[in-house]
Amino acid sequence: MANYAESLEYLKIAAGRGSKLGLERITKLCHILGDPQNKTKIIHVAGTNGKGSFSAMLSHILRASGYLVGNFSSPALTGVTDSFRINCREISENVFTWVMNDIIPACESMKDKPTEFEILTAVAYELFHRVDCNIAIIECGMGGDTDSTNVVESPLLSVITNVALDHTSFLGNSIREIAAHKAGIIKEGRPVLYGGTNLDAFEVITAAAFEKNAPLSVTDQMRTLGTSTGINGTELEFDGFGKARVPLIGTYQIYNIANVLTAVELLRREGLEISDESVRKGLSETYWHGRFELLNSDPVVIFDGAHNPDGIRQAAASIRQCFRGEKVALLIGVMADKEYALYPSILGQYVSKTFTVTPANPRALESSVLADTFSREGIAARSYTSLGSGVKAAYSYAKENNIPLLALGSLYMYKEFCDELNKILK
């Protein structure tokens, strides 16, 4: 019997196999386990941005409605158990180990061993079946059609939150190509929701839904009325639901809330009992890490996992809305495969000074390269060899100038950023 440390070591070995496209390994692994992915009602969520916030809000609503809800998301922000939640609570190390003790022998019985993410996907499906979740919300890791989560045969609902350019080396260089991958989660005869606004993506998703005879719904953002957002949360009125308040920050949460409320309507059609009161209660209780998350108030410190051009644009809009023209100290670290050359022009008018760092990831962009990118656009920037030194310098600058500190970029640096900030605040 493996303990928690041994389970993590097994995942580390699997991580050495890299990322492999295709569903052959995960399909076989799930079959060895008895196909748990088909024994729980699944809401399958794909999309370039917004998956985490969407899933968090919907999980809280379903919990408030009396359902036992599982949630699988990636990447984990604080530790592997952070990817798995039951009724909005992170699972324990013991629970994770409990499931891994059956997953590991199944993996070892396979000639073509699964990758790390495939193992985590299998853990999610097996876990949520074992504890008898009424519903599980499963987020795609990347794309859709070849993502390891895409083994569920008949989801309760498929959701594509939006489509924008990201992971282009894997998914293609056009919106249509990327949308085709995400549309791969659409299943025969099962309802699908598209929450984005891109017309090219809409055409691709519509064609895929028609081919699969899948009823397609599209979020009508015009139903959103009287919106307001600030560092204390987001409020809006949505036609058919009335007023709602969510503690989550960021202008993009308005779109995410509209998608969630539209999904609630579709789930009601599928027989789920979700009252308006449960909707309001669930939204008011929602929390989610790493998405324009307020970590400190004096000075204001916010972390946002914006890591692609669409996310960076939405972060810029949130800066404008929340701080009303006040410039911020920017700490940023990104992956080298992102279109980081676009970021200075998107963020520049809102930034007083930039502090660049290198996230702890093999794909990370060197901080000096990122600093040069901002400097060439006339934005004061300095690179730091460690995240700790960068956080300390950025915090000091924000404190001395009485301005907010905004940390942007890879979610892979979330935990270390919080750890370094807490050292300063002690």
Per-residue pLDDT at 169: 53
Name the pairing type of β-strands 233-238 and 157-160.
unpaired
Per-residue pLDDT at 223: 93
Cβ contacts of 301 within 8 Å, gap of 6 or more: 294, 295, 395, 398, 404, 405, 407, 421
Per-residue pLDDT at 310: 82
Is 97's pLDDT higher than 90?
yes
Per-residue pLDDT at 2: 86
Using 50, 70 and 90 to split pLDDT, how confident is the model at 410?
confident
The domains of the chain, with CATH numbers, are: 4-284 (3.40.1190.10), 293-425 (3.90.190.20)
Q: 72 or 50: which carries more pLDDT confidence?
A: 72
DSSP codes joined into one string, 159-192:
EE----S--HHHH-SSHHHHHHHHGGG--TT--E
Is 166's pLDDT higher than 70?
no
Per-residue pLDDT at 28: 97
119-133, 230-244, 347-361: which has the highest mean pLDDT? 119-133
| Across 77-81, 195-199, 224-228, 368-372, least confident range | 224-228
Percentage of the chain modeled with pLDDT above 70: 98
Is 165's pLDDT higher than 70?
no
Average pLDDT, the chain: 93
Q: What is the pTM for the complete model shown? A: 0.90
Per-residue pLDDT at 151: 97
Using 50, 70 and 90 to split pLDDT, how confident is the model at 261?
very high
Using 50, 70 and 90 to split pLDDT, how confident is the model at 167?
low
Per-residue pLDDT at 365: 92
| Across 74-78, 266-270, 331-335, least confident range | 74-78
Using 50, 70 and 90 to split pLDDT, how confident is the model at 324?
confident
Residue pLDDT, tens place only, 294-314: 999 999 999 998 878 888 998
Is 144's pLDDT higher than 90?
no
Q: What b-and-e string marks burial along 25-60, b requiring 16 or more CB atoms within 10 Å of the CB?
A: bbbbbbebbeebbeebbbbbbbbbbbbbbbbbbbbb
Is 168's pLDDT higher than 60?
no
Integer Cα distance of 23 and 19 in angstroms: 12
